[in-house]
Structures are given as C-alpha cells and as structure tokens.
Amino acid sequence: MIRREPLGRPVATAADQPIAVLTMGTVSAKRVFDLGVGGICLVLLSPVLLAIAAMVRLTTPGPALFRQVRLGRGRRPFVVYKFRTMYDGSPSDIHQEYVRKLLTDDQPPDEPRRAPAIVQRHSG
C-alpha cells in the first residue's frame, strides 16, 4: 500500500515490505555483533569525543552533554546523550520557532545554536 504524505510524495509503509523471520540464534548473533562493533568504535573514537567535550566545556558554560528521553521500540522510553549545541537552559520556544520556519518557509532559517563550529558542522 503506497500512501501520500501532505506534499504529495509517495511514502513506503511497513505493509510494502516482506516480513523477515529471525531465529533466536540470529537475534543473539546480531546483538553480539552490534555490541562488539559499538564497543570497538567507542574505544577508537574516545579521544575525539573527549576533545569535542572539552571544546564545548571551554567555550560555553554548562555541561558538554545534553540528555534527552526518547521513545523506542514498543514506545519504551530510553535516554539519549548528545553533545550540546545550544546554550544550557535555552528556552524551548527558540527551537519550536526554528522548526516551524524550517517546515513552512522556502529557505532554511538561521541556526539558533551557539557552540563550537566543529560541533555544529558535524551535529545531526
């Protein structure tokens, strides 16, 4: 079933995809692989992550990491830690106005973030 989003572009739904059947062994192997690769990446990238954290802390007051609760599979909440790209304690209305302009205007709005340029360039 292909539905259309508000702008008229087609959107694939889960009903369009075949359902994959995973065995308990496959799920376990995938989990071990994910944790292993994630752990290796964390160890290899830790010097870069520490340098970014230091730059954020030295250039702006407040913590280097931003903590946010999101909903995961089965609407179960989990915590995400991200490098802070706005001032600590910034009001949420700045972000809400930015998103409103991003969704309605033809040109992207000015960035409301204030953090080291390297963090802004590489943040998602």
Residue 51's pLDDT is what?
93
CB-CB neighbours of 56 under 10 Å: 22
| pLDDT tens sequence across 64-123 | 888 889 888 888 999 999 888 777 777 778 778 877 887 887 766 666 555 555 555 665
Higher pLDDT, 54 or 108: 54
Burial (CB count within 10 angstroms: exposed 0-12, middle 13-18, buried 19+), residue 84: buried
Contacts (Cβ under 8 Å, ≥6 apart) of 51: none
Domain boundaries, the chain: 2-121
Residue 37's pLDDT is what?
97
CB-CB neighbours of 63 under 10 Å: 14
CB-CB neighbours of 97 under 10 Å: 12
pTM of the entire structure?
0.53
| Residue 55 reports pLDDT greater than 60 | yes
| pLDDT tens sequence across 22-37 | 788 888 999 999 999 9
Higher pLDDT, 108 or 39: 39
Residue 99's pLDDT is what?
78
